[in-house]
Amino acid sequence: MSKHSVSPEIDRLISLLAKLPGLGPRSARRAALALLKKPEALMKPLALAMGDAAENISTCSTCGNVDASNPCNICATPTRDNTTICVVQDVSDLWAMERAGAFRGQYHVLGGTLSALDGVRPEDLNIANLIRRAGEGRVAEVILAMNATVDGQTTAHYITDHLETTGVKVSRLAHGVPVGGELDYLDDGTITAAMKSRRPF
Amino acid sequence: MPSIASLRLIDFRSYAALDAAFEPSVVALYGPNGAGKTNLLEAVSLLAPGRGLRQAGVGSLARVEDGMSQPAWGINAQLHSLEGDIDDPTRISIGQVPEHPRKRQLKIDGRPATGPELARRLSLLWLTPAQDRLFSGAASDRRKFIDRYALAFAPDHGTNASRFEKARTERNRLLSENVSDRLWYEAIEADLSNYGARVAQARMTTVTNLQIEVSARKTAFPQSLIGLDGNLENRFADGADLTTVAEDYRAQLASTRSIDLRAGRTLIGPHRTELHVTHAEKAMPAALCSTGEQKALLIGLILAQARAVHDKEPILLLDEVAAHLDAVRRAALAEELLDLGLQIFMTGTDQSLFSDFGARAQFFHVADGALANLDGMEE
Ligand SMILES: [Zn+2]
C-alpha cells in the first residue's frame, strides 16, 4: 500500500495504533478499519473514553497505581491492611491480584524490571519510593510478587538487598508460580495459593 | 534516516552505565588510549546488522568485573525522529539477556526485530585502524568491505549473500562427500546461481556508483580507480542482465561439477571475486602505496560512499583517523565532513586533532568509562 493512496488522517490513525503492544502494522490496519466502519458505535465512544482517561487518570504518587484520584482508591481505603505492601511489576499485575481477591493490603507498582537490554536502571523504576515507604515504621512485611523471569528475580534480589536496612520482613510468592510465569496470565486460584504460601526471600 | 539522539550503555565493554546525548553533526571523542573511545564507536556500530566494527562475538561484549562477565548487557539508542507528526522517536535495543547467553537480542521500540528491519532504520559506515591492511591483506576482507558498502545500494544484499553462502556450503558438502546425485546438485545450483548473480550485481552497482562519486569531486585525498574481477561481475561489466548471468552461471556450475568434485569445493563464483583499488594519479595499485597513502585512499573511498548514499543519511564512524593525517589533510577532512552534513562520530587521543572543527563539533572527553561534554573549541 503506497503512502499516498491513504488519507493522512487514516495513515496517522494506523501509525498510532501500531505503537500499541500486541499490534503490528497489519493488525493496526485491521483495527483502524474496524473503527472506521463503526464511527458512531465504536470510534467516537472510544475517542471520548480515551480523552476522558487522558484527562482524569493519573499515577498515584504513593504506590504507582493508575486511578482517577491521587492517592489512588486502594491507598485511600482505610479498611485495607496498611502493614503489608505487595510489590508488583506493572499495574496489570495489580489488577490480576485484585481480580483474584487474594490480597487486602497495599501495593507498590515498580513500572517494570531491571533490564540491561531494555536500558532500565534502578533509578528508572519506582524503587526509591518503595524503600521510603517500607521505612515508615508501620510496615511489617513487603511481599515481592515479581514475575518468575530472570529480570523479575534480579529485580527482587536488588530490592531485597536495599530493604535490609529497614528491618521489614521480605517474602515472595513461590508455590504454583511457574518459571517464566507472569502474574497477569495466572488464574485467580493460582494467585491465591501463591499468596498464601509465600515464603521469606 | 535518522541520527542518534542519545545512547545508554549498561555493562557494555568498559561502561558500567553511560548516558550521552548527541547532536546530529560531528561528535568528537577524545581521550587517552584505553579510555573507551572505540568501545563507544563499537556500541554505535552494533546498531547495524552484523558483529560491529570489531567483528566481536556476542559473548565478548559484556563488561567484566572481578574476572566475571556480567550476565547481561545492553545498548539503547534513541533516534532523532524524522516523522514530525508522531512525537515518539524510534528506540533501538541491542544486548544480551541471561537466559540466552549466546544470542544477541534486538528490539525496535521494545519489540523483537530482525537485522533487515534494523538496516531500514539506520545506515552506518565506518573506518577503523583494522582496515589499514585492507589493500595488502586477504581478498576476503576486501569482499567484506565492498559487500558492506553494497548494503546501502541493495538492502537485500546481506540476505542474498548469506543465502549464496548457505547454498555454497551445501554444494561443497556434496562435493567433499563425493555425492553424485545430479538432481540434488541441480537443486542447490539453482539457488547458488540465483543468489550468486544478485550478489555480483549489487557489487557492480556499488563499485559503479562509488567510482562516479570518487571521480566527481577532487579533494585532498587521492582518487581511486575501483574495479572488480570476478566471473559474474565481469559479465555484468560486459552488459549482461541478471537473468542471463544467473542462467550462464548455473550452466557453468553443471559443467564444472567433475572438476569441482576433484577439488572437493566450488571453484567458480562471487566468493572468489577480487576488489582492485588503484591510486589513480600515480597509476599504482593501492597495496603498493605507502601506509599513509593507503589510509588517504580509504578516507577518499568512505567520503565517496557517504556522498553516494547521502539520501540514506548514513552515520559515519571514524576511529583514530585524524592522527594519521598531516595538518593540510586534517583541515581538508574536517571541511569534507562538515560539508556532508551527517552525524559523524570521530575518535582521537588529543583534542587538538579536532581543532579544525572549531565550534562546529560536539566534544566529549572520554576517561574512566565516562563522558564529559565540553563546549566547542574556540576558533
Ligand atoms: Zn496508590
Q: What is the pLDDT of residues B83-130, one digit of tens each?
A: 554 556 689 999 999 888 888 999 998 889 998 888 888 889 999 999
pLDDT digits (tens, 9 = 90+) for B275-331: 999 999 999 999 999 999 999 999 999 999 999 999 989 999 999 998 889 999 999
Chain B within 8 Å of A16 (Cβ-Cβ)? yes
Give the number of beta-carbon pairs within 8 Å between A and B.
Answer: 50
The structural domains of chain A, ordered by start, are: 3-56 (1.10.8.420), 66-200 (3.40.1360.10)
Helix (H, G, I), strand (E, B) or coil at A66: strand
Interface check for A3 against chain B (CB to CB < 8 A): the answer is no
Measured CA to CA, the distance from residue B112 to residue B108 in angstroms comes to 6
In residues, how long is chain A?
A: 201
Do B310 and B153 form a contact (C-beta atoms < 8 A)?
no
Residue located via cell numbers 495466572: A186
Write the residue in A16, A117, A150 that is nearest to B74 by C-beta. Answer: A117
Give yes or no for A117 touching B (CB within 8 A): yes
C-alpha span between B344 and B374 (Å, rounded)? 17
Q: Which of A117, A150, A154 sits opposite B93 (nearest CB)?
A: A117
Q: Is B143 in a helix, a strand, or coil?
A: helix
ipTM value for the complex: 0.76
Residue-level pLDDT at A178: 53
At A107-116, the pLDDT tens digits run 999 999 999 9
B144's CB contacts (< 8 A; 6+ apart) are none
d(C-alpha B78, C-alpha B334), whole Å: 26
Task: Output the CA A55–ligand 1 centroid distance in Å.
Answer: 18
All residues of chain A having their beta carbon less than 8 Å from the beta carbon of residue B97 are 115-117, 150-151
Choose the closest CB to B76 out of A19, A21, A119: A119
What's the rounded Cα separation, in Å, for the pair B226 and B207? 7
Res B83: pLDDT: 53
pTM for the predicted model, two decimal places: 0.84
| Contact assignment for A116 to B109 by CB distance below 8 Å | no
- The yes-or-no verdict on residue A186 having pLDDT over 80 is no
Are A150 and B110 in contact (CB < 8 Å)?
no
What are the distances in angstroms from CA B163 to CA A120, B159, B189, B194, B196?
Answer: 36, 6, 12, 10, 9
Q: Which three cell numbers stand for residue B190?
A: 539453482
Closest Cα in chain B to A19: B109
Q: Is the pLDDT score of B376 beyond 80?
A: no
Q: pLDDT tens digits for B220-251?
A: 999 999 999 999 999 999 999 999 999 999 99
How does residue A6 score in pLDDT terms, banded at 50, 70 and 90? confident
B264, B168 Cβ separation under 8 angstroms: no
Q: How far is the CA of A10 from the centre of ligand 1 (A)?
A: 37
Q: Which residues contact B197 (CB under 8 A, 6 or more apart)?
A: B232, B242, B245, B246, B249
Angle at which helices B182-216 and B157-176 pack, to 10 degrees? 140
Instruction: Select the residue of B83, B88, B93 nearest A119 (Cβ to Cβ).
Output: B93
| Type of residue numbered B106 | L
Contact B35/B370 with Cβ under 8 angstroms?
Answer: no
Bridge partners (DSSP) of residue B229 are B274
Instruction: Assess A12–B contact: CB distance below 8 Å, yes or no.
Output: yes
- Strands A84-88 and A141-144, how do they pair? parallel
Q: Helix B291-308 crosses helix B139-153 at what angle (to 10 degrees)?
A: 20
